[in-house]
Amino acid sequence: MRNAEGLTANQSLVRSYSWLLAGLLGVGALFVLGEQPFAVGLVPVPFDKLAHFVVFGSFFLILDSALVLPLWLALMIPLLISAADEFHQMFLPGRQPGLEDWLAGLCGVALAAWWRHR
């Protein structure tokens, strides 16, 4: 018998605990290090968009390697993390959240998903 994700009762949602740990550490680092004073202006414009592209595209690849998820959910999780990061920046001195940063992350996630599932 298969559940909604197409897994049998004996299969786990976790493909790789190592990748799962790497993803959790990466997300934690994003928020903890993002609060530090050195993070202000660390990556200058326009290279900050490239950083968002790479970071959130990488989060998708890590998540897709770590867990067995429907594609739509594997796409949404990094985009929600990106949105949470932009929201978090609203409360940090010297940081400027922006839709452009989120869109750069969206492009990174989309390209990573296309590459992974082509």
Asked if residue 69 lies in contact with residue 5, where contact means CB atoms within 8 angstroms, the answer is yes
Residue 99 lies in a domain: yes
Q: Domain range holding 47?
A: 19-117
**Residue 98 domain flag:** yes
Give the pLDDT score at 118.
87
pLDDT > 60? residue 2: no
112 falls within a domain:
yes
d(CA 9, CA 2): 7
Asked if residue 1 has pLDDT above 50, the reply is no
- Assess contact for 97 and 52: CB atoms under 8 A: no
Q: How far apart are CA 87 and CA 1, in angstroms?
A: 41
Query: How many separate domains does the chain show?
Result: 1
Instruction: Flag whether 12 is in a domain.
Output: no
**Taking all residues of the chain, what is their mean pLDDT, rounded to a whole number?**
92
What is the tens place of the pLDDT at every residue in 63-111? Answer: 999 999 999 999 999 999 999 999 999 999 999 899 999 999 999 999 9
Q: What's the number of CA atoms in the CB half-sphere (13 Å) around residue 84?
A: 12
Residue 3 lies in a domain: no
Tell me the β-bridge partners of 2.
8
Write out pLDDT tens, residues 26-64. 999 999 999 999 999 899 988 999 999 999 999 999 999
**pTM of the predicted protein model:** 0.88
Per-residue pLDDT, 7: 58
> Is residue 5 included in any domain, yes or no?
no
Asked, for residue 105, whether it belongs to a domain, the answer is yes
Cα distance between residue 19 and residue 22, in whole Å:
5
